[in-house]
Amino acid sequence: MNIVVLAGGLSPERNVSLSSGSLISAALKRRGHKVLMADVYEGVAIDKDNPYDMFTSEPCEAYTVSREVPDLDEIKRRNGNRRELIGSGVLELCKTADLVYVALHGDMGENGQLQAVFDVFGIKYTGSGYIGSLLAMDKDIAKKILSEAGVRTPSWILCDSAFCDTQRILSEIGLPCVVKPISSGSSVGISIVNTENELMKAFELAKPYGESLMVEKKIEGREFTCGILEGRVLPPVEIIPKQGFYDYKNKYQAGATVEICPAEIDEIQLERISLATGKAFEALKLSGYARFDYIMDSDGEFWCLEANTLPGMTPTSLFPQEAKAVGIDYDELCERIAMTALKK
């Protein structure tokens, strides 16, 4: 088939997306497909006379994830400060393909906007639809739905990023707490706050990523993630950062985190995280595949932190590790995800 792998964009997770996209493209080519990877923001020049010749089986450029969040203002400047999020030729290219593999992370690629556009144009794409993407990406909405569905999630309040109401935070949530943007992934803009003096700094770090942010009670315990693929819950991974918490740097720099898959938990704990994952997937109206992050407390109970509708597919990403644990190698995983687009 002819497949467009859509990556890049103007998300703080842009570099992660480009890395995922390049690896997905290579995997799909090894499975016999013709692929064109395109940056959704920077666009692509369409060969109107021979559009199908743009898809190729030739090896593509590989990307690595830098230690720092990308300079999005520089990306905008080199594109004439264009405000449109979808670049020239992208929709035309996607209409030409048999399907679009959405390798984007964050913002438009994960909040339902792109999925809604594709639905309007009848373009087949991987991952959840616009409703599920929207519900999962907004952490406040997602946590309300998870709570209603009986999935434990830490208590939280929503705050204006421009004003740190210290007394409200201390009285309603207390310390330690976690300050995070409500619609970002890859731990961008997240801080763990242990003292009152750290609250203002945490708000400043999160402020560039949206007008609203969340202050969440910090659950002490072991950190896990658990994926689901085509209705099958995959073995969970335990995440143990060597330093600090599982932030942007520790997620994407090789060797920064110890990851144990399958996680070393007992049968009761495995049943609990698997049941929570299935409930969360259904409650948020997701489809195809997703991944959920958890903390297990000292009583062995799992607290769901957030949903990831487009899990990373970089060399250090967790979802491919979970699939491998049940005998699905990286190339097969990419193809299986791609095939879910044809079932919509």
- pTM as predicted: 0.89
- Structural domain contains residue 342: no
Q: In terms of domains, do 41 and 103 share one?
A: yes
Structure tokens at 168: 């409200």
Residue 106: closest CA among 306, 342, 321, 336: 306
Domain assignment present for residue 344? The answer is no
Q: Would you name the residues annotated as active-site residues? A: 13, 186, 252, 291, 293, 306, 308, 312
112: Cβ–Cβ under 8 A, 6 or more apart, which residues? 129, 130, 131, 132, 133, 134, 137
Q: Are residues 113 and 65 part of one domain? A: yes
Are 146 and 291 members of one domain? yes
Strands 212-217 and 156-160 come out as antiparallel
Residues of the chain with pLDDT under 70: 61, 63-68, 184-187, 242-256, 315
What pLDDT, in 10s, does the model give residues 76-87? 899 888 889 999
CATH number, domain containing residue 172:
3.30.1490.20
- Please give the residue range of the domain that contains residue 193: 156-217
d(CA 278, CA 274): 6
Cα–Cα distance for residue pair 332/7, rounded to 1 Å: 20
Strand order of the sheet with strand 34-39?
A: 34-39, 2-7, 99-102
> How many Å apart are CA 276 and CA 150, to the nearest integer?
8
Strand (E) positions, the chain? 2-7, 34-39, 99-102, 156-160, 177-181, 191-193, 212-217, 222-229, 232-233, 237-241, 257-260, 289-296, 302-308
**What pLDDT does 85 receive?**
92
**Cβ neighbours of residue 327 closer than 8 Å, sequence gap 6 or more:** none
Is 303 part of any domain? yes
Question: What is the number of structural domains in the chain?
Answer: 3
Q: Could you tell me if 229 and 321 lie in one domain?
A: yes
